[in-house]
Every structure is written in structure tokens, then in C-alpha cells.
């Protein structure tokens, strides 16, 4: 039986070394490039010959745009408009990465914590910079909830600071853990199909059901990542 974790192995395709840093082009990078290319082609081709009554493809693109647009408006408010392109790119990139991972023999780059933590840190640092630019020193008032008795403050402030720093970790952990666990489970069940002979029908049925679940997770996790980014952005913009 093939090792169910083999699918996460990173293979170097073009070795590149910058100084002491290994910046090789790997299968992970390849699939990121494919994801970006797929999103770009999808979004530009579908709206190239626009019609008042959209066809199927144009309809999909418009629905996605509207979906993210509503998400930003509901969670960030109208002041979140300038950040819509960022959230939309993030959402489409993660969604395409998750869905590409569902193709057999492909590589799921969102199942690596290096990738998800990179994106989460981008959101985290970005929102912190926005909060600083918007509120200046008042930003630190974030860590002391209003009306806290003074004797609680020495305990509460470190907890609030730590809770702020857990944001990128829990954000990235959720995406990474869901994708890794789901794909591993799929492989484990698939491995049982031949090993169990005729009784392999049972894990086969489980595999089919799990594939459906994985598609749900792929879309849901992209949504969750984007919504949480919106909520962090909301906190940064509208500190009370």
C-alpha cells in the first residue's frame, strides 16, 4: 500500500539557489503557478465578450465577484471597498488551490503550513499596518478592553496580546489541517479498497462519500479564510 503521506512530498523540479537559500521551483510552486494562471484565464476569458444576459461562464464569474463583494461589504462595511481586490485574489487563489488538489495525481499546495502560514501572515501584517496607519498609537487600546479594572490589566493585557498573535496561527492551521487530514483520509480509505478484496466495496463507498465531503471542505475552507480576513480587517478599520 502506498504511503498516504506520499502525496505531500515536495519534489524539486528546477533547482535554484539564491545565496544560501534554497529557492527551487518545486511541484508546489508549479501548482501555485497553475492556480494563478487558471484563475486569470477563467476570469478574463469569461468576461471578455460580455453580454447583458450572461451565459454560463460569465454567470459563474459574476457570481464569484458578487459573492466576495457581498462578503466584504457585510463583514468590513463600505470602508472595506479598497481591500476588495486583495480579499478576492486571496479567495480565488485558495479556492483554485483546493480544487486543483482534488484532481487525482495533482499536488495540493494549501496542505502545507508554509503556504497557509505565509498567506495568514500576509493578512496579519497587512491588517496590523492598516490599523496602525488608521489609528496610530490608539491601536494599543485594542489590548485593553474598555472598563477593565486596573488590577486585572497586568494579567489581561498579555493574554490579549497573545490572543492577537494567535490569529495568523489559527487562521493558517485551520486551512492546513483540514486539507491535510482530508486528503490523508482519502488516501487511507483508497488504500484499503484493493487490500480487502471483495469487501473493498465498503471502503470504496466511503471513498466516494469522502470525495464529496472533500469538495465541500475545499470550498468552505477558502470561504472561511476569506471571511476571517474580512473580520480582521473590520477590527483594524473600526476600532472602537
Partner 1 sequence: MAFACGAHMVAGLAVGAGIGYVLDRWLGTSPWLFVVFFFLGAAAGILNTYRTATGMGMALGYRPAEQGNEEGRPGATPAAGAEETKSQRGGNRGGQSA
Do the beta carbons of residue 224 and residue 174 sit within 8 Å? yes
Q: Please give the Cα distance from 85 to 64 (Å, whole number).
A: 12
CB-nearer residue toward partner 1: 122 or 231 = 231
Binding-site member from 163, 194, 201, 202 for partner 1 (CB under 8 A) = 163
CA dihedral sign of residues 149, 154, 160, 161 = positive
Is residue 113 part of the contact set for partner 1 (CB under 8 A)? no
Do the beta carbons of residue 154 and residue 144 sit within 8 Å? no
Name the segment binding partner 1 (CB under 8 A); options: 59-67, 92-100, 122-130, 136-144. 136-144
Do the beta carbons of residue 109 and residue 7 sit within 8 Å? no
Burial of 225 (0-12, 13-18, 19+ CB in 10 A): buried
Give the x/- contact pattern for partner 1 in 55-84, rule: CB under 8 A: ----------------x--xx-xx------
Is residue 146 part of the contact set for partner 1 (CB under 8 A)? yes
Binding-site member from 61, 134, 160, 211 for partner 1 (CB under 8 A) = 160
Smallest distance from partner 1 to CB 114, Å: 15
CB-nearer residue toward partner 1: 135 or 200 = 135
Is residue 121 part of the contact set for partner 1 (CB under 8 A)? no
CA distances from 194 to 4, 199, 203 (A): 14, 9, 9
Q: Which helix (H) or strand (E) holds 56?
A: helix 56-76
Name the segment binding partner 1 (CB under 8 A); options: 33-41, 55-63, 152-160, 190-198. 152-160
Name the segment binding partner 1 (CB under 8 A); options: 15-23, 59-67, 92-100, 217-225. 217-225
Do the beta carbons of residue 217 and residue 178 sit within 8 Å? yes
Given the rule CB under 8 A, which residues bind partner 1?
A: 71, 74-75, 77-78, 141-146, 158-160, 162-167, 169-170, 173-174, 177-178, 220, 223-224, 227-228, 231-232, 234-235, 238-240
Amino acid at each position: 500500500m502506498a504511503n498516504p503521506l506520499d502525496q505531500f512530498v515536495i519534489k524539486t523540479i528546477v533547482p535554484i539557489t539564491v545565496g544560501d537559500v534554497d529557492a527551487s521551483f518545486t511541484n508546489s510552486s508549479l501548482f501555485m503557478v497553475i492556480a494563478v494562471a487558471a484563475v486569470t484565464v477563467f476570469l478574463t476569458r469569461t468576461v471578455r465578450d460580455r453580454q447583458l444576459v450572461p451565459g454560463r461562464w460569465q454567470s459563474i464569474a459574476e457570481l464569484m465577484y458578487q459573492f466576495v463583494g457581498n462578503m466584504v461589504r457585510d463583514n468590513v462595511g463600505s470602508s472595506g471597498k479598497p481591500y476588495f481586490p486583495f480579499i478576492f485574489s486571496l479567495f480565488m487563489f485558495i479556492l483554485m488551490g483546493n480544487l486543483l488538489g482534488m484532481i487525482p495525481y495533482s499536488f495540493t499546495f494549501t496542505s502545507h503550513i508554509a503556504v497557509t502560514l505565509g498567506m495568514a501572515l500576509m493578512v496579519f501584517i497587512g491588517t496590523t499596518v492598516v490599523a496602525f496607519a488608521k489609528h496610530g498609537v490608539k491601536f494599543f487600546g485594542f489590548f485593553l478592553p474598555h472598563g477593565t479594572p486596573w488590577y486585572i490589566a497586568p494579567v489581561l493585557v498579555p493574554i490579549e496580546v497573545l490572543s492577537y498573535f494567535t490569529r495568523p496561527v489559527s487562521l493558517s492551521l485551520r486551512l492546513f489541517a483540514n486539507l491535510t487530514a482530508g486528503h490523508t483520509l482519502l488516501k487511507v480509505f483508497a488504500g484499503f479498497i484493493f487490500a480487502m478484496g471483495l469487501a473493498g466495496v465498503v471502503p470504496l463507498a466511503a471513498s466516494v462519500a469522502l470525495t464529496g465531503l472533500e469538495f465541500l471542505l475545499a470550498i468552505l475552507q477558502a470561504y472561511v479564510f476569506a471571511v476571517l480576513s474580512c473580520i480582521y480587517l473590520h477590527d483594524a478599520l473600526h476600532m472602537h
